[in-house]
Structure 1
Amino acid sequence: MRSGRSRKRLLFYCGKKDVEYFSKHQQGPLTGELEPIIEGLGYKTVEVAAKKTGSRHHVSVIISGRDSGIGLTDCEKVHKAILPRLEILLDDRDIYVEVSSPGISRNLKCGAEFGIFVGSLVRLLLEGENEWIVGRIMESDERKVVIEMSDGKKEDYLYDTIRKAKLVDIQEAKK
């Protein structure tokens, strides 16, 4: 600790320094404006990242389906719905917008993302451990996540004890 103040370790890596990342736990102005549109279409907002390069805005939006995966038509539907709103919010018509799924083995970046992926398989690497724990996300709150193990037993894990977390690809889980 350099400054004498105690610094709490960040749970997960949150991105590049020149990009504004916003997710459910750290809602920025764009997330607050786009989330109702995205949720109105039946999707969950996982993350919104905005960056201005020169005179052009780059906005990346990651969405999740409520019950199923995300396909190209889902991304296209969200893109068409949010682009007009972004043009108004950013007062710019030259905006590059990328809408994508979280990916099949996404690294979870913050505790709030566990709530988005309730029901999904996850791998956890705990502080001081070398072995990954695999289980299904049952519930989460602001302090912890509840994971159901393969034997049906449920375990609570405080976010401060999680070093790394990744969604598990269904094909990988079958191996």
Structure 2
Amino acid sequence: MLSNNIRSSALFNELSELLSGMDLKVVDCVKNETAQGIQLIVTIFSPNREVNTDDLAEVYNILYPRYSVIFQDRDLSLEVSSPGLTRNLKDFYEFSLFIGKLVRVYSTTYSCWVEGYISSNSDESVTLTSALIIDTNETKEELVLSYGEIQKAKLAYRWEDSK
């Protein structure tokens, strides 16, 4: 089930502020405390271009010195990555990041996967265009799904759509 709480995370808000001037958005951030130290996993995305290894390295070089000072008495393990082609969405917030991208959503209303392009979202729902209801092979020009009927969701990728 998707959550709706990442925007209330202090770490998420701090990371978003740090990366705001770089044309990068924080998709997800996880902080794990282990016996060996602190593990930070940060996933970034750019709505205007593909994230490349230079972006990942730049973000790492900004975050690592800052958080190694903040967690000075603990070893820091930092991982910075892109969302990938078929990311499992964890929070409703991610629908706003991936507008224009192809997504697969398991709908409890249709009891099957629905695939379509995210055209917009609100606090209660997401709108898919060129939606395909997989089990019935029915297509809809526009389909509005409330977050309550979305059991799981992930980015989808069609090789034939790539340029």
Q: Which residue of 2 aligns with 1:18?
A: none
Compared CA separation, residues 111 and 51, structure 1 to 2 (3 A)? same
Q: Which residue of 2 aligns with 1:155?
A: 143
Choose from 28, 37, 46 the match for 1:65: 46
Identity value in percent: 28
Counting only pairs closer than 5 Å after superposition, residues 3-152 of structure 1 correspond to structure 2 as 11-12=1-2, 23=6, 25=7, 27-92=8-73, 94-127=75-108, 129-149=110-130
**Does the 8 A contact of 2:47 with 2:98 survive in 1?**
no
Shift of residue 36 of structure 1?
Answer: 1.3
For structure 2, the 5+ residue unaligned runs are 132-138
Alpha-carbon displacement from aligned partner over 1:22-59 (angstroms, at most 9, x marks no partner): 73x3x322222211112221111001100111141110
Alpha-carbon displacement from aligned partner over 1:1-36 (angstroms, at most 9, x marks no partner): xxxxxxxxxx3279xxxxxxx73x3x3222222111
TM-score (norm 1): 0.78
TM-score (norm 2): 0.83
| Alignment: residue pair count | 155
Aligned CA-pair RMSD:
2.4
Tell me whether 152-161 or 138-147 shows the greater mean CA deviation. 152-161
Shift of residue 156 of structure 1?
Answer: 1.1
Compared CA separation, residues 50 and 172, structure 1 to 2 (3 A)? farther
Taking the aligned partners of 1:106 and 1:172, their CA distance within structure 2 comes to 19
Q: Which residue of 2 aligns with 1:165?
A: 153
Compared CA separation, residues 92 and 142, structure 1 to 2 (3 A)? farther
Aligned partner of residue 112 in structure 2, secondary structure: coil
**Does the 8 A contact of 1:121 with 1:134 survive in 2?**
yes
For structure 1, the 5+ residue unaligned runs are 1-10, 15-21
Structure 1 counterpart of 2:2, one-letter code: F
Shift of residue 91 of structure 1?
Answer: 3.5
Tell me whether 152-161 or 125-134 shows the greater mean CA deviation. 125-134
Taking the aligned partners of 2:59 and 2:158, their CA distance within structure 1 comes to 25
Tell me whether 125-134 or 109-118 shows the greater mean CA deviation. 125-134
